[in-house]
Structure 1
């Protein structure tokens, strides 16, 4: 047993970011990504899909392995002599492009609101950075492939074309305001002003009359906050105005020239196509995401005669296709319920457990050890692999956290892993990591009220679902439900799963994104209706002392669809107390029971007939709670994440080490730790020859001592 090697395995699984795993090259030798890659499906089916000649969208929640699959695909492409590939980290570019720009406005643009101008220029700057990075990466890839040696030179020389690419890259990064952009920005400014004045009037009226106030929200998934004025983004909810705006932005970039140069490059070098990997685009706020697709992805995908193919990573439910025809691209989801969907749940589970087993076996073997040497000799090995799947839902990053906790509790003491220690590790992961999403972020993150409200409502919804499961357990034990079906299950019957109408899945999207619940399967209830089965996070059920899963035996194969596990009414009751449908024009409110009907008619108001209805979350009580928070202690969410990581480590860390754990770039971590140092929340110094950071006692006392 080698505890240090075990710890390195756990750390390699925890890392979020681009999965070349260079920090572990000495442990493994050779090429880490080739040595460690395990495909989620047999015969490398996921990798084969990514390597196909089609544009591909790869979806999955954080930590499900999207970046690892991209890294392996690029490794395979580099072995071929007729393809060239590049990788663009969209989220990191967005963070760097929008956090460091001081936007100055020409005094002659008096008819454009400053907030609108700033929002526009920051977004345009981000798009320019993406295009500039793309062209720079093309040049770098060309140099690494020594294309000069295979250059045909029929049209022009290699250096001439590379110089042209460099020139375009510099131009697109400048992002000056174009004359044709001024009219649309003036229109947006006028509409934004009217919207703001209307909302202010409604707010004053609500306070005078005592009506419930609200905030319009969509599915909040801890994405990048809105750039600049959020009213600008809301104004662009008008699809016609947005289309006009995005078309103007698109014309501001020389796409015909870019596509022509790349096509010439491929022809002259005898290459089949360029493959571009775009990672993490779903974390952009909604307007930036739409612009990214309509201004960058769509032109590259639709106007290159199959010479440029895109591979795009995003989150389930947060993929905008724009002008890309979804029917002409491949879309693959890495989440358990989608990837291993089968006619029987047990078949899907077997496939998922096999993946967990293959991931762990290959990872430990690459580090020169055998995972079975770290299991308690009295434990059933197959049962432990099954349990590791259940606590992680096949998310490699969660596996890393579970193994790290097992290392601290067992392996560091040279004790083998048992089922009890895995369950304890899951409980600790929930208690120390996941539950903090509600508490610490809600109290200390500097973010829009709408995001705090969404998190607050998530907590209420999770509490309602858990309360129902706890009460259901009591009712089963009192023989009030289920009759003889539950009679032999003893005092702790599993109540970790529930099912709902598929139309209600959107209500659970934020909880699912944060792993508090996970969709487990699609099936049919006892009345033959389609239903969606969900499971609570294993560590959450451990914390609540609820049994997870379903009993063994063929008679329990349909355990999850017993009528007592239908939670539709619980969710509808939650919606009735936290949400309503309101018209932005006349202020009329409608019950959430009417949502499907109103949505069918394009959100038309039944009172004023305007297409201006939307779901509004009720917020009176919570507004008071937020107002009592200490604003002086609030930090940008990324800064709070940095402090959480440094606090968890308790040691000096390089910016690159922190970035790998919180899904951002090392440049941004370096910049933000300098800001935190100015507030005496972080210390920075040269340690062991590297610039590193450590959390201060002041920060630990403020943010982490209850």
Structure 2
């Protein structure tokens, strides 16, 4: 066994950033992404779709390999002489956004609040930064390809064209408030103030009813708190306001000039098109995502006369197309349930297991080692069995496979022991308990963020607890023979209860749990009464942690095991939602039962009582508010800072900014800034190593405060 190579294989799979894998060139040779790339479908079908001349949306949860596909596609495009391609990491640009200088001297005279001004200028700078980066990338690619050697343009000089692109870049950088932007900001300011007055009046009425003068005084204090940036976002929920605002923002950028220059560049150099890769845009808030599509992507896609084609990576269920026609674009999902959809579960699982085998087999081969040297293949546990288990333990997410291999390195390989099925299950349990399950508790206790974020995460936690409780109850009823009759009679004391089905209408409710890998869509199927349902699976590590059996029994009689009625959780989820959510009017405050949701959707959420307000789903949060009020605000950190100290805690070693950024999906510049801040707070030490590179480590104070077993963060 070559321990160092196995460790690097695990590391190459679990890294986040950009997937070009330059850290591993000494092991793989030049262009490591070309050597290591394994397409999720035979015949490189996914790669070929991305390389097509259509605008493409590539969808998948974190770690499913979107950036790797993009990196491989760009590598292929660089071989062509008739295309130029650029890559923009959208999230990283937003991450390192500089603070907007606010000059409020005549804001009041213009009737614009400081919140409306700051929110608008932040958005304008964000969008401008994306456009500037795009133009900068175009210039860099032109210089690298020496396009002036092949320039055939007759209408424009090459140097003049590049100078024009540079001038546009400089104009966009100096973001200022334009006159045409003032009216819509005035309207938004008016709505902010009106909404604040209505909320204050409603709270005052409720306080008087409940607690008299004492509660009324508390409300008066609350009304003095400044409007938040999220209030600005809420005004954009009104489609008329949003459409007016997005049109105004679009006019702030000279897109007609930008597109004209790009067209001149493409055709003047005898090129076919510019291909622009935009990665990680689903990380943005929904309002930012809409503006990004409407202000940046749509004009590029729709007004460039085929000179520009977009390749956009996002999360399932979190993609806004705007004016880009999905019917004229390709949408590819990397999640296994979509990629390998088949008539029967067993056929889907074979295809998914085959990808796991190809992915790991290629990775080990390129690093110069044999898979069989590290995995315990035998007549009893074949390679096919182990690869099926790797798929089940990771949902075929390469990054999770990397984390599992890292844990297996610590548990087995470092001791000279081969990997067995039992050790994979143990690694999956450890990954769940040490990483995935911490998502709820650590962020809710220590993250400095809006209350709504904590409440949403709290409700997800409660929903997960509901699903686990239901699975355990089904297990009990199967064992006691309360359900299923003779169908379950020979299953023993631990029948599998890892999968469940729900109506398709509940997909949105489970999307957050799915995106964080607590559950995963498994297959679309028909219930016994022929209704369409969706089968979900709990994460294997979760089942191991809860002592539940994952999968379904062997044998033909059990091929439709999870279509049994006891695994139908639709009613249980609806009961949970009814007890934790209500439908509330934003004007009159009237509440309605969640059972009426379909009626409200039909009438566009108009309030049936006041006929003026718009209703929305509200969480019943009084108990949780009291819980949050007990948290110690003095030790709360920004979510990115929590990610940094969590990575240092999990790795248990001093790390460079680049190493940390590769694990937490941000830039090394961002890590460098935040570790300096954390050092000032006494939470992180930063010292140069023997090569002069600065490495970060946790202080004892940080370990005791955020990772100590006895600390409960209650004041």
Q: Deviations over 1:2-21 (max 9, x none)?
A: 11111110011001120001
Q: What TM-score do the two structures reach when normalised by structure 1?
A: 0.96
Instruction: Output aligned runs, 1:142-541, within 5 Å.
Output: 142-210=142-210, 229-378=229-378, 379-541=381-543
Shift of 1:154: 1.6
Which residue in 2 is equivalent to 1:103?
102
What is the aligned counterpart of 2:616 among 614, 622, 643? 614
Are the counterparts in 2 of residues 64 and 394 from structure 1 also a CA contact under 8 Å?
yes
**Take 1:204 and 1:700, find their aligned partners in 2: how far apart are those partners?**
43
1:101 to partner: Cα distance: 3.3
1:566-625 C-alpha deviation (Å, 9 max, x unpaired): 001110111111100011111111110110111111001111223501000110000000
* Whole-angstrom distance in 1 between the partners of 2:552 and 2:107: 69
- Counterpart in 1 of 2:703? 700
Q: Is the 8 A contact 1:128 1:174 kept in 2?
A: no
How far does the alpha carbon of each residue in 1:20-72 deviate from its partner, in whole angstroms, 9 at most, with x for none? Answer: 01111112112110000011011111111111111111111100100000000
Deviations 1:255-299 (A, max 9, x none): 000000010000111000000000111111121111101000010
**Aligned residues of 1:498 and 1:534 also touching (Cα < 8 A):** yes
Inter-CA distance 502–377: structure 2 relative to 1 (3 Å threshold):
closer
Tell which deviates more after alignment, 143-152 or 545-554.
143-152
> C-alpha distance in 1, partners of 2:445/2:201?
29
Q: Secondary structure at the match of 1:479?
A: coil
What CA distance in whole angstroms lies between the structure 1 residues aligned with 2:585 and 2:676?
A: 45
- Preserved CA contact (<8 Å) 2:153 2:264: no
Which deviations, in whole Å up to 9, do the C-alpha atoms of 1:426-450 show, x marking residues without a partner? 0000000001101111100001101
On the 8 A contact 2:100/2:118 being kept in 1, the answer is: no
Q: Secondary structure at the match of 2:454?
A: helix
Q: What residue is the counterpart of 2:75 in the other structure? A: 75
- Structure 1 residues 210, 396: CA separation in 2 closer, same or farther (over 3 Å shift)? farther
Aligned residue for 2:643? 641
| Change beyond 3 A, Cα 1:301–1:611 | farther
Pair 1:210–1:483, CA change in 2 (3 A)? farther
2:100/2:121 contact within 8 Å kept: no
- Preserved contact between residue 118 and residue 228 of structure 1 (Cα < 8 Å): no
1:7 paired residue number: 7
What pairs with 1:35-114 in structure 2 (closer than 5 Å)?
Answer: 35-97=35-97, 99-110=98-109, 111-114=111-114
Counterpart-to-counterpart distance in 1, 2:9 and 2:673:
29
Superposition pairs of residues 584-623 of structure 1, within 5 angstroms: 584-610=586-612, 612-623=614-625
After superposition, the Cα gap between the structure-2 partners of 1:411 and 1:403, relative to the gap in structure 1 and judged at 3 Å, is same
CA contact (8 A) 2:588 2:613 kept: no
Distance in 2 between residues matched to 1:207 and 1:78, nearest whole Å: 65
Count of matched residue pairs:
691
* TM-score where L is the length of structure 2: 0.95
CA shift for structure 1 position 210: 4.5
Cα pair 1:377 1:416 within 8 Å, conserved = no
- Report if the CA contact (8 A) 1:116-1:228 is conserved: no
Aligned 1:681-692 pairs, distance under 5 A: 681-687=683-689, 688-692=691-695
| Native 8 Å contact 1:66 1:313 kept in 2 | yes
Q: Deviations over 1:322-348 (max 9, x none)?
A: 111111111111111111111221111
1:114-153: CA deviations, max 9, x gaps? 0110000001000000000000000011111121221114
- TM-superposition CA deviations, 1:511-546 (whole Å, max 9, x none): 111000100000000000000000001100000010
Distance 1:317 1:416 in 2: 40
| Aligned partner of residue 653 in structure 1, secondary structure | coil
Aligned to 2:664: 662
- CA distance in structure 2 between the partners assigned to 1:372 and 1:171 by the alignment: 59
CA contact (8 A) 2:353 2:384 kept: no
Q: What's the secondary structure of 2:548's corresponding residue? A: coil
Structure 2 Cα separation of the partners of residues 246 and 11 of structure 1: 42
Query: 2: CA distance between counterparts of 1:153 and 1:299?
Result: 24
Q: Deviations over 1:54-113 (max 9, x none)?
A: 11111111001000000001000000010000000101111212x533433343553100
Q: Is the 8 A contact 2:412 2:419 kept in 1?
A: yes
Aligned to 2:712: none
Match of 2:629 among 627, 630, 640: 627
In structure 1, stretches of 5+ residues that fail to align are 214-226
Name the Cα RMSD after superposition.
Answer: 1.4
Q: Which region of structure 1 is more displaced relative to structure 2, 256-265 or 144-153?
A: 144-153
Question: Is residue 602–residue 611 contact of structure 1 (8 Å, CA) maintained in 2?
Answer: no
Q: Secondary structure at the match of 1:693?
A: strand
> Using the alignment, how far apart are the partners of 1:288 and 1:153 within structure 2?
37
